Structure 1
Amino acid sequence: MPSSAETGPRGVARYDDLIRAASCESPWRHDGVGGRVYLPDLDLLGSILTIPVSESASTQTGLLGKGLDAWFAHEFRRAGFDPDSVWPRASDPRVLPTDLKALLERLPTALRNDLTARLLRLRAVAPQDASILGRAYTKQVDVVMSSWSTGPELLLSTKSQSSSFGKNLPNRFEEAYGDAGNLRARYPLAAVGFAFALSSAIDAEPSQLERAIDMMRKLRDRGDGNGYTATCLLMYDAGPSGAVSILADEIPADLGAPQFMDRMITAILDAAPASSHRTVRERRRGRLLLEE
């Protein structure tokens, strides 16, 4: 008999229940004198990664990567960005231009439901993944924020690795550096990020962890426009019960999730008109909007 993992939701949809139940409150915490810190929901990330880790899902299944995508997309929605502009969306269709979403919302219910069902079968219009044309080649980007009027504002690639660190780390970083140049060359104003999740098994190879930390720092833009806007290193560990926890203290602060989200959001806001992303700007300032 097929397992629930084989017959149930697949890909990013495996995490819909967790995302739906998660808090959407502002991730910013303020000290009252102008200071702020971004507090990512690492407990949620641990719960998400428990699914692929407990199933011993291989890297080839993409299940752990989809979990990272779902979590980062949720974090950008928590920050206040339009939920329908951040892909993958929290429900099908995962990639849907905001203009089409606005059209659907204005249609009579029966027609809206019929058209939505048709869109789910038209992957060229509403695909599961976002493919973005770079300078040299088209790249599937894991987390995207875009619209027809602005073009891409956020381009985030995620990767994970649980073993064979000495063999595969160089390949991961070579690919990452090429992707950064490909995307930054075509979209110089977009916030282009790279997040890499490592199993705590790398602790058994201290030289490889040092190598990963060094390379994640070197992948950043140093003023030549070729590197990433920000990079993020995550480490996860499965306890005796099978539950996964995120080992934030094992990662240098300059590569942690809080600085990554802060840098990426700052880059998006700096490149956009002051009148856009109002909810994000107000949450960063510690203010509540009337509509919230």
Structure 2
Amino acid sequence: MPAEPSTKATAWAIFDRIVADAAPAGVHTNPWLRTVDRLTYRPDFKVLRKLLGVPLYLDAPSTTGVPALALDVWMSYELRRAGFDPDAVWPRPTDPRIMPGAISSLLDGLPQRERQLIEARLGRSMKGVAGSSASVLGKHYMKQVDVVMSDWDTGPELLISTKRMDSSFGKNAANRVEESYGDAKNLRLRHPLAALGFVYGLRSTILSTEPDKAEWLIDLLGKLGTEDDAYHATALIMIDYQADGVESPEDEVDSIEKADAETLFEIIDVATARVDEALAALPDIAIRHDVVPPQLQPARFLAIMANRVIDTAPVTRHREARRRREQAPVG
């Protein structure tokens, strides 16, 4: 009888099913919409709400990394919707979550038996070839980045850091933003052409329990996206739910770098993970767009990130992303 998977491994199984169901046979919807005078990006918030429900269903604390991981999975899913190479966007929708595109191409060209042997070896995390999190060298220090688009021949083309906070706002909110400002300077100075972004997931209870802190934090997030040498864009995702799960302890863990390192490559049995049961029981999650200023809306953020990657790359690269943007349906 297979062993019970860890909370994080179970979460990955559910996350993978959610994004796979949203893109049958790997075919994603086009997020771009063209109106008379503008081109807009339409995020798939239905998928985001499902992903955000997974940590609540599993009662996963922040120390597992699962609550923050939901944002990472959604961001990478949206970049695939925009038409970027699925193997170049990390985390990937399958294990290993981090793997250069050249390795993926090599695996695709191997006979099935050899491919399975090498994939099993990669599953044990061959350092420098595959991994579960991506660390990028900035000007002064290495920084773990949550969502990355990179390859050996290009270097980083997109770097997105995500943070998630569901409680302890007074203790931790300012620290998270201040740390992110320093991280932006560090990364931008070494990778000036890469699209650099910051996404903050915040539980809506801050609006009633600490309104002054919420006002200050929202204002600061907006200013972070206006610095010439920091982030190209920032986004706020205001998460509204009634359940009591996903609390942020004093020693908050909001990135997969620090969470459950011993289970990063756990092989899971989907039946044991009870994915179908989980999908049927995911709690209701709402996204509060009404309290988020226009400059922090996720749609604007994703449009800026996608456009920057396309516009700074040679015309011969990212052909599918260019095609999707150019052939956006008229609405």
Output the TM-score relative to the length of structure 1: 0.91
1:11 deviation in Å? Answer: 5.6
1:242 corresponds to: 283
Whether contact under 8 Å (2:32, 2:328) holds in the other structure is no
Larger relative contact order (C-alpha < 8 A, sep ≥ 6)?
2
1:152 deviation in Å? Answer: 0.2
2:6 corresponds to: 6
The answer to whether the aligner puts 1:141 opposite 2:182 as a matched pair is no
Q: Secondary structure at the match of 2:9?
A: coil
Range with bigger deviation, 214-223 or 138-147: 214-223
Deviations 1:39-97 (A, max 9, x none): 10111111111111233422222101111111100000000000000000000111111
Letter in 1 for 2:310: L
1:274 deviation in Å? Answer: 1.6
1:253 deviation in Å? Answer: 1.7
Distance 1:138 1:10, change over 3 A: farther
Whether contact under 8 Å (1:197, 1:236) holds in the other structure is yes
2:188 corresponds to: 184
Distance 1:83 1:28, change over 3 A: same
Q: Secondary structure at the match of 1:91?
A: coil
Whole-angstrom CA distance in 2 between matches of 1:209 and 1:78: 31
Match of 1:264 among 279, 300, 305: 305
2:267 corresponds to: none
Match of 2:101 among 86, 98, 102: 98
1:280 deviation in Å? Answer: 1.0
The answer to whether the aligner puts 1:30 opposite 2:71 as a matched pair is no
Output the TM-score relative to the length of structure 2: 0.81
1:203 deviation in Å? Answer: 1.3
Whole-angstrom CA distance in 1 between matches of 2:18 and 2:313: 31
* Identical positions, percent: 44
Range with bigger deviation, 45-54 or 11-20: 11-20
Whether contact under 8 Å (1:88, 1:144) holds in the other structure is yes
The answer to whether the aligner puts 1:58 opposite 2:61 as a matched pair is yes
The answer to whether the aligner puts 1:114 opposite 2:117 as a matched pair is yes
Matches within 5 A, 1:86-235: 86-124=89-127, 125-204=129-208, 205-223=210-228, 225=229, 227-235=230-238
Deviations 1:218-268 (A, max 9, x none): 212432x2x101100001111579311211222112101100001111111
Q: Count how many residue pairs are aligned between Structure 1 and Structure 2.
A: 284
Stretches of structure 2 lacking an aligned partner (at least 5 in a row): 244-281
Matches within 5 A, 1:271-290: 271-286=312-327
Distance 1:183 1:221, change over 3 A: farther
Deviations 1:153-198 (A, max 9, x none): 0100100101121221110111100110110011000001100000
Whole-angstrom CA distance in 2 between matches of 1:123 and 1:249: 45
Whole-angstrom CA distance in 2 between matches of 1:122 and 1:9: 15
Whether contact under 8 Å (1:134, 1:183) holds in the other structure is yes
Whether contact under 8 Å (1:132, 1:138) holds in the other structure is yes
1:251 corresponds to: 292
Distance 1:228 1:277, change over 3 A: same
Distance 1:150 1:221, change over 3 A: farther
Letter in 2 for 1:118: R
Distance 1:235 1:115, change over 3 A: same
Q: Secondary structure at the match of 1:249?
A: coil
Whole-angstrom CA distance in 2 between matches of 1:63 and 1:228: 25
Q: Secondary structure at the match of 1:233?
A: strand
Distance 1:133 1:7, change over 3 A: closer
Whether contact under 8 Å (1:27, 1:39) holds in the other structure is yes
Whole-angstrom CA distance in 2 between matches of 1:4 and 1:245: 30
Match of 2:70 among 67, 72, 93: 67
1:123 deviation in Å? Answer: 3.7
